[in-house]
Amino acid sequence: MANRAKATIFDIAREAGVSKSTVSLVLQGSGLIRPETASKVRKAIEDVGYVYNRGAANLRKAHSNVIGMVINDLTNPFFAELAVGMERVFQSAGIVPFIANTAENPVRQEEVLKSLMEQGVAGLIVSPARGTTPGAFRRIETAGLPVVFAMRRLPESRIPVIAPDNHRGAYLATVHLIGKGHRRLVFFGGSSDLVVYHERLGGFREACQTQGIADRDALVVEGETSRRGGIACLETALAMAEPPTAALCFNDAVAFGAMLALRKRGLEPGVDFAIVGFDDVAEAEHYMPALTSVAVDSAGLGERAAHVMLKMIQSRTTRAEDHIGAVNLVVRESCGPDRRIRNRAVGLGSAA
């Protein structure tokens, strides 16, 4: 048993078998903790002889102005733009944002989340890493800490999500490619362990079905959500007995990789193979050729996530409405000319 004069919250947490954050919420009289958990914590408080200094706690709380921003891949320009949007709002509100990059590693993510909770952050905005299990945030939810998911959701999670309309964006992009005359298409990148992958793939498949594309001509090549992934996807597609002529990519990074792979083969994006990205990062407009992409207001979504977080903290709640942001297709050069017109022109040239 801990010495009564030196007992700490950590002693209580260890005695009760709960987190430091849960103990803090019980001490503050929070109604977010389950009654049975609160009873267990109060018994541990008596057992270790802890004396609660409310004055000191209030002083600490007055200076608790740190919010954790846990991003899955800051090397992707899209997520960097998202983080900038969040940071802009927090700085205006006098909040100190702490940014951590998990590099799509759920183990690293767990370490970061644990550290941030121990530091007593006021809330967390997280873009979950690939492979995150549905129960990964259960302990944080139990502790009553406000959490917002940005861009990605977890299956069966009640944590509020700020994300774009992935299904509609993919649908619009695919209809555009089919309208260009493409009849054998492919979806590049992503994997089945991501909810956003299923949303975007779902939009791709629905467009193919509604526009009369046979299932055998609506191809899927999974891969990393990076330039390297795009290169690998393109190589796989062109090695097929009947290669596709157009690709909707999981994101712009995959699209850039696919375009690089085309060039390595002496093929021209937009002329020999149509490419559409997703996210419309700043680089898309200046790429060669300029990339057609589904525009997502990444900075705007970041700002929205930050505002939702501030409201949750002020209202002392862990609940908020999901927000699905509007998207639109920005048409540039990577889709090339209408394939039907081009085919007619080639036919006329050969006849001459």
Cα dihedral sign, 82-84-90-92? negative
pLDDT score of 48:
83
Which residue type does 231 have? I
pLDDT tens digit sequence for 290-312: 999 999 999 999 999 999 999 99
Q: 10 Å Cβ neighbour count for 1?
A: 9
H or E stretch at 110: helix 106-118
Distances, alpha carbon 297 to alpha carbons 71, 171, 199, in Å: 17, 18, 18
Q: Report whether pLDDT(30) > 50.
A: yes
- DSSP-based three-state secondary structure for 125: strand
pLDDT in tens, 202-222: 999 999 999 999 999 999 999
pLDDT given at position 19: 87
The residue among 184, 154, 279 whose CA lies nearest residue 226 is 279
Q: Which two tokens stand for residue 257?
A: 């990789």
8 or 246: which leads in pLDDT: 246
- pLDDT higher for 153 or 1? 153
Among 65, 96, 69, residue whose Cα is nearest residue 82? 69
Report whether pLDDT(51) > 90: no
DSSP letter string, 190-223? B-TT-HHHHHHHHHHHHHHHHTT--GGGEEEE-B
Report percent pLDDT > 90 for the chain. Answer: 66
Residue 62 pLDDT greater than 50, yes or no: no
CATH for 9-60?
Answer: 1.10.260.40
pLDDT recorded at residue 256: 98
Torsion angles phi and psi, residue 58, rounded to 5:
-65, -35
Mind spelling out the 3-state secondary structure of 271-321? CCEEEEEEECCHHHHHCCCCCEEEEECHHHHHHHHHHHHHHHHHHCCCCCC
CA-wise closest residue to 76 among 327, 263, 249: 249
Query: 345 pLDDT exceeds 50?
Result: no
Structure confidence at residue 203 (pLDDT) = 98
68: left (phi over 0), alpha (psi -120 to 50) or beta: beta
3.40.50.2300, 3.40.50.300, 3.40.50.150, 3.30.465.10: CATH of 166-297+330-351: 3.40.50.2300
Q: What are the domain boundaries of the chain? A: 9-60, 65-164+298-325, 166-297+330-351
Token pair belonging to 152: 């990605």
Side-chain-side CA neighbours of residue 277 (13 Å): 35
Task: Kindly tell me if the per-residue pLDDT of 223 is higher than 90.
Answer: yes
Residue 2 pLDDT greater than 50, yes or no: no
Q: In CATH terms, are 9-60 and 166-297+330-351 the same topology?
A: no
Q: What is the mean pLDDT of the chain?
A: 89
Torsion-angle region of 343 (φ positive above 0: left; ψ -120 to 50: alpha; else: beta): alpha
**Going edge to edge, which strands form the sheet with 218-221?**
218-221, 185-188, 246-249, 274-279, 292-296, 327-330
- Give the pLDDT mean for 79-96: 92
Q: How many CA atoms, within 13 angstroms, populate the side-chain half-sphere of residue 26? A: 24
Q: CA–CA distance from 25 to each of 6, 113, 275 (Å)? A: 20, 18, 51
| For residue 64, pLDDT beyond 80 | no
Considering only the top CATH level, what class is 65-164+298-325? alpha beta
Residue 86 vs residues 40, 213, 330: alpha-carbon distances, Å: 37, 41, 24
Count of beta carbons in the 10 Å neighbourhood of residue 317: 12
Say if residue 6's pLDDT is above 70: no
pLDDT in tens, 249-288: 999 999 999 999 999 999 999 999 999 999 999 999 999 9
Quick one: pLDDT at residue 20? 82
Q: Please state, in angstroms and rounded to a whole number, the distance separating the CA atoms of residues 284 and 21.
A: 43
Q: 125-184 pLDDT, tens per residue? A: 999 999 998 789 988 988 889 999 999 999 888 999 999 999 999 999 999 999 999 999
Cβ neighbours around 180 below 10 Å, total: 21
**Average pLDDT for residues 56-85, to the nearest whole number?**
79
Question: What one-character DSSP code corresponds to residue 128?
Answer: P
Residues of 289-304 as b/e, b for ≥16 C-beta within 10 angstroms?
Answer: bbbbbbbbbbbbbbbb
